[in-house]
Structure 1
């Protein structure tokens, strides 16, 4: 379906607003957690306010993608928005931690629908040539949320109360809903399934929940046995899922997709973003506070530079790909830049002026942004329009799972590595940057060297992940993005395979 320029701008404004709300709720809560847990008296369950949201938004992606194709992306989008606003209202009225976690799970479920259907709707109303530009605009919601979320969350908590971290969504979301009713077009859904893949959906969701739980528990001090059991259950679940999908008449994740070179390479690149980029950003402030001996405020400059580089590159490459029709050069160049920059991070001696790592991590962001949204647009063009939701869910799913697992692994490596090398008298479980900064210069130097030594192999491993991404990017087929809309039920892909 082709829209007029005015309607397309209205649609983009509506989708960007809603995508930003969903992304912001993922980041804005971080600075409110201490206040929330203190008032609700549940410090030990504090992490589940975030984990519940992330888990719900991850496991529902394939189900929502399939439902969007069958029932229509507009319907799923509007229902998700109403559910998101209701969950936001419930979060603010929470009187205990169980209530808040349950409301956050509902919020995460609806957020997945908002993010996924926003990308699906854009894909359905644009040509392949137009799509990267608009996908980049929608994709800008997440880096912007990373930049402003913690500051906004802290200010709201300090001046209005933590409840307004959630309630602020209501007026903005209501305005976005009114705009969406007008701007989001009715799109032809795919053919109704004769058999919905209930078994595949249930097994996949269970296996994915077990995997995310294993990754979360692995980072906890006494979580080893539970993480091992969850991981075993996850592996068994994914094996069962693979066998079910091979026999399912209409699988929730069609495995034949991955015989297409564009989809296989694009999926690998999406996983690289989760593993190599999103996993490390959460740990950068700690690294610079310890290894570079900066304050908490100053340490935040490096992730800001990283995310800002990603934002600029994302918008620029989306515009260039739409203008020229060429797309392969951007993931190739982006993965090369990311791999080189992360290797440089591994080689940087601790104690340099902060502008040096800021520039290097900014380059990592530039490299990642070069294909972050673009690869979603390219992969969407490799399937019929009637399967856009399914493939969009798949490409987002591998990114989120990769980020979750890699974040837990990196956290475990940091925790065990620092604990193993700390000087006598320092306890890794209670060590804070303030404690280190008040210690004698020799102790500060020892701790800085330990953190540098622990993070060096992490940066090298992430550089290797981007190096694998170079291979995936090179395997993308040559070609140009088409100016023709993709048929709703085309028998084969329109990009080269």
Structure 2
């Protein structure tokens, strides 16, 4: 796998990378273009030349089609990252099982975090073209399952499948632009991946809300991926070149190089974690045998995964999936923490502010999503220019400190004022303040990691950041969902006591005012129920200032060093 050198001045998502040139020690990718692998790989008739200062080997109409197809699918990945934020109410109204609501949001990043390290190895070992096509198909299959889901369980399975495919789309896009562009233009093309993802993420809640209130229903929020994917498909099938990273190595040997034990243990750890924090307190009592068993299994898998990766059991230090040796690097551990904290702020706000507006303003899904736009647009815009901030300020510790202060300054008051009496303008202002801090901290760790590591560890550092960001999203949505569901149900039961509502009706009311229970409520009783729900949201928003405090503490523990040059120049 070609290890990228990353420019600090360009950002993207999920990684804040802009690849400038392959390292000299990288695999000779161009020499491997379109060559067969012992007769075990499909071949193409063309042979591409190495990009040089004179220009790319692919030009004209073909290059335009390749770029269009790749950016289109990256936009789809961004779209599905946030599209579920504003269809939760209609989904619950249609499929029920509000106790599984957290899975609708967390299932997508769960699929990504379980498979993203494995996908990195697959792209390192197999034909890039067909690996990208297979992961894109996986994403589309997941979207189709979501759209056609007859039950909540089917929808969750579809979200997990789509998340797994989506991470493959992103990694494959990086791989192609790293190999097909020249040194001078690479930064631009890589940054456009971030722009495409950001555009999709901005439109996600709006598109989801629009479908949720239309005759097409929320199902077309997922079916739309099939239509857009079909437009990009010809570019992948007929115009993408086949790139064989290991042309002279048999398939069996390539498969044997992969850390399958680490993959199984890691995936099992993430799945049981999400099971524990979504099922406990809802479908299972906290002191039930099921809850205790799932926490024990999670703990056992976590311990086994850590030990297997640390001691490289059934693998080797070079081939293990998680870059465990970087846990001895103070800077990389702190970067992991701040990336996860920034991601927590982003997704807690994106998933719960629309629900707040639905309850307090009686908004439909589309209008609730429109009210979220100030936060999402500012966060993505700041994220895309955060590399420029780093270029001018150079001391990354200072940027993380500023980000943490902004998140605390916005998140603390938001937690307090998230009630029916607060004006919409106040909520907008606080979320914009949060968006600036979140945008700075969310992906800057990718750039800093590459500038503070030796060349041979850059890829490992980027993998660690991938896990921090996507895993942080899983943890944030699981914990937020647990707080919201448990606190909200308790508050509503107290507020509606004596009015004959069942536990199922009260649980269903947590998803939005379109629920059967809220349609029955009027006058003071309805206002009392809304207060109960917003009190639960205030508790959920505790995660935001806590994330800001974590950012501040981690920043204060960072080195006072100035970046640029080959890596970092120590300042303290």
Q: Find the aligned partners of 1:332 and 1:72 in 2 and give their Cα distance.
A: 42
Contact 2:106–2:477 (CA under 8 A) maintained in structure 1: no
- Mapped to 1, the partners of 2:327 and 2:409 lie a distance apart of 29
**SS, match of residue 216 in structure 2:** helix
* 1:433 corresponds to 2:487: no
Change (3 A) 1:100 1:356: closer
Q: Say yes or no: does 1:21 pair with 2:76.
A: yes
Q: Match for 1:150 among 203, 208, 224?
A: 208
Q: Give the 3-state SS of the residue equivalent to 2:562 in structure 1.
A: coil
- CA displacement, residues 403-423 of structure 1 (integer Å, 9 cap, x when unaligned): 223323323323332333432
Q: Residues 186, 265 of structure 1: CA spacing in aligned structure 2 closer, same or farther, 3 A cutoff?
A: farther
**Could you tell me how far 1:185 is from its partner in structure 2?**
7.7
Tell me the distance in 1 between the aligned counterparts of 2:172 and 2:108. Answer: 18
Output aligned runs, 1:285-300, within 5 Å.
285-290=354-359, 292-297=360-365, 298-300=367-369
- Residues 271 and 385 from structure 1, CA distance in 2 versus in 1: closer, same or farther, beyond 3 angstroms? same
The 5 A counterparts of 1:12-411 are 15-28=70-83, 53-71=108-126, 76-85=131-140, 105-119=160-174, 130=187, 133=191, 136-137=194-195, 139-141=197-199, 143-151=201-209, 153-154=211-212, 158=216, 162=220, 164-177=223-236, 181=240, 196-218=258-280, 220-222=282-284, 224=286, 225=288, 226-248=290-312, 249-250=316-317, 251-290=320-359, 292-297=360-365, 298-321=367-390, 327-348=396-417, 350=419, 351-383=421-453, 390-411=460-481
Q: Cα deviation per residue 1:145-189 (whole Å; 9 max; x = unaligned)?
A: 43444146448861997484342133233155269716x988799
CA offset digits 1:50-84 (Å, max 9, x no partner):
66544322211221223334558666434423544
Cα displacement (A) at 1:272: 0.5
Whether 1:478 and 2:561 are equivalent positions in the alignment is: yes
Distance in structure 2 (CA, Å) of the matches to 1:102 and 1:306: 29
Q: Normalising by the residue count of structure 2, what TM-score does the alignment of the two structures yield? A: 0.69
- Shift in alpha-carbon separation, 1:453–1:156, aligned structure 2, 3 A: closer
* 1:347–1:456 contact (8 Å) kept in structure 2: yes
Root-mean-square deviation (Å): 4.4
Aligned equivalents of 1:480, 1:185: Cα separation in 2: 34
- Between 1:403-412 and 1:430-439, the stretch displaced more is 430-439
Residue 390 of structure 1, CA deviation:
4.4
Distance 1:50 1:270, change over 3 A: closer
Cα distance between partner residues in 1 of 2:176 and 2:455: 10
Residue 158 of structure 1 aligns to a residue whose secondary structure is coil
Unaligned runs of at least 5 residues, structure 2: 1-20, 23-50
Cα distance in 2, alignment partners of residues 123 and 478 from structure 1: 29
- Alignment partners' CA distance in 1, 2:235 and 2:392: 29
Distance of aligned partners of 1:418 and 1:49 in 2 relative to their CA distance in 1, 3 Å threshold: closer
Instruction: Tell me which residue corresponds to 1:456.
Output: 538
1:381 and 1:241 map into 2 onto residues whose CA distance is 28
1:90 & 1:142 partners in 2: Cα distance? Answer: 20
In the superposition, the TM-score normalised over structure 1's length comes to 0.78
- Do the aligned partners of 2:96 and 2:152 also contact (CA within 8 Å) in 1? no
CA distance 1:328–1:445, change in 2 (3 Å): same
Kindly indicate whether the alpha-carbon contact (under 8 Å) linking 2:344 and 2:473 is maintained by their aligned counterparts in 1. yes
Quote the Cα distance in structure 2 between the aligned partners of 1:293 and 1:378: 42
The one-character-per-residue Cα deviations of 1:455-484 (angstroms, maximum 9, x if unpaired) are 4344344202211112223415522234x6
Q: Considering only CA atoms, is the larger Rg found in Structure 1 or Structure 2?
A: 2
Mapped partners of 2:86, 2:346: distance in 1: 22
Aligned equivalents of 1:372, 1:196: Cα separation in 2:
30
Per-residue Cα deviation, 1:425-474 (whole angstroms, up to 9, x for no partner):
46532435366587555434434443444343443442022111122234
1:282 match: secondary structure: helix
Taking the aligned partners of 1:155 and 1:94, their CA distance within structure 2 comes to 18
Secondary structure in 2 matching 1:479 = strand
Deviating more after overlay: 172-181 vs 278-287: 172-181
